[in-house]
Amino acid sequence: MMSPFVSEKERVEGYTHVVLILTGSVASIKAPLIVSELLKHENVKIEVVATKASFTFFDAGAIREAGSRVWRDEDEWLEGYKVGDPILHIELRRWADIVLIAPCSANTLAKIAHGICDNLATSLLRALSPSTPTYVFPAMNTLMYEHPLTNEHIHVIRNVIEYSVVGPIGKTLACGDVGLGAMTEWRDIVQIVVDRFQLKRKAEVLEQSQEARTVS
Ligand SMILES: Cc1cc2nc3c(=O)[nH]c(=O)nc-3n(C[C@H](O)[C@H](O)[C@H](O)COP(=O)(O)O)c2cc1C
């Protein structure tokens, strides 16, 4: 169990605070890449919120090494709650300048569209201010994506909840099927945040890539 997260103490003036939500899609494997690439930019902080199903797919140790914490449902349920104690999903939504749901499983997509909030990720989303930019990157098997309900859920998420839905893209999926359903390329997800907040690469990262170019 991690120590309580309090937005007021965790927010840093001038920083961009990114919440990355991971769900039970194979594409969660890309999470350490997204986190480490974003953290190559100045003044960025990331907190990862992972659903129970997502833990099968990504290396939580690699995310921690890159410099982000990984929050799970159990972290929400501290023993002996007293009035006034911080509530994790509320603190995280207060903290966030942007929320990325990357990848968004068919299940979480359906839950968001119906307002269901039965875990840390969906409680955070249900409590989120409409002014916080929120991006959904669906990732699922092609037939799951082509299921008529997916279209309905995306319609509600775009037009009623007003999140940005980006992708999916077409390629050979982890299950072997070829077609629409893959998560947007992780570099393009990073680029959305970089462009939106005008993030600059850290000087040492620029120097390292210059040195690498000189050597090669
Ligand atoms: C190996 C494996 C791969 C899966 N890949 C996906 C996927 O890419 N997209 C998806 O929507 N569901 C996928 N699922 C099913 C979800 O993990 C399942 O619906 C789960 O309940 C999602 O929970 P969550 O939305 O809370 O993360 C996969 C399941 C397994 C066992």
pLDDT tens digits, residue range 157-190? 999 999 999 999 998 777 777 888 999 999 999 9
Q: Say whether pLDDT at 209 is over 80.
A: no
SS3 29: helix
- The label of the residue with tokens 């309905």 reads 152
Contact 101/23 with Cβ under 8 angstroms? yes
Atom 16 of ligand 1, nearest CA residue: 24
- Nearest ligand 1 atom to the CA of 140 is 9
Cite the DSSP H helix spans in 49-147: 60-66, 73-76, 88-95, 106-114, 120-126, 142-146
Q: Say whether pLDDT at 211 is over 90.
A: no
Distance CA 205, CA 93 (A): 30
Strand partners, 60: none
Task: Give the pLDDT mean for 188-212.
Answer: 89
Atom 13 of ligand 1, nearest CA residue: 25
Distance CA 129, CA 94 (A): 8
CB of 142 closer than 6 angstroms to any ligand 1 atom: no
CB of 70 closer than 6 angstroms to any ligand 1 atom: no
Distance CA 171, CA 3 (A): 41
Distance CA 181, CA 132 (A): 26
Q: Among candidates 130, 127, 90, 100, which has minimal Cα distance to 18?
A: 100
CB of 123 closer than 6 angstroms to any ligand 1 atom: no
CB of 109 closer than 6 angstroms to any ligand 1 atom: no
Q: Among candidates 168, 111, 118, which has minimal Cα distance to 142?
A: 168
In this predicted structure, what is the pLDDT of residue 184?
A: 96
pLDDT band for 28, please (50, 70, 90 cuts): very high
Q: Say whether pLDDT at 117 is over 80.
A: yes
Per-residue pLDDT of 62-111, as tens digits, reads 999 999 999 999 999 877 788 999 999 999 999 999 999 999 999 999 99
In this predicted structure, what is the pLDDT of residue 210?
A: 72
Please provide the average confidence, as pLDDT, over all residues in the chain. Answer: 94
Which of 30, 107, 144, 169 is the best mutation target for the ligand 1 pocket, counting ligand atoms within 8 Å of the beta carbon and taking the most? 107
Give 192 or 176, the one with higher predicted confidence.
192
- The label of the residue with tokens 């008529």 reads 148
Task: Give the pLDDT mean for 45-69.
Answer: 97
Q: Does domain 7-215 have CATH number 3.40.50.300?
A: no
In this predicted structure, what is the pLDDT of residue 178?
A: 81
SS3 84: coil
- Nearest ligand 1 atom to the CA of 107 is 25
Separation of CA 199 and ligand 1 centre (Å): 32
Distance CA 35, CA 66 (A): 7
Structure tokens at 212: 């690498």
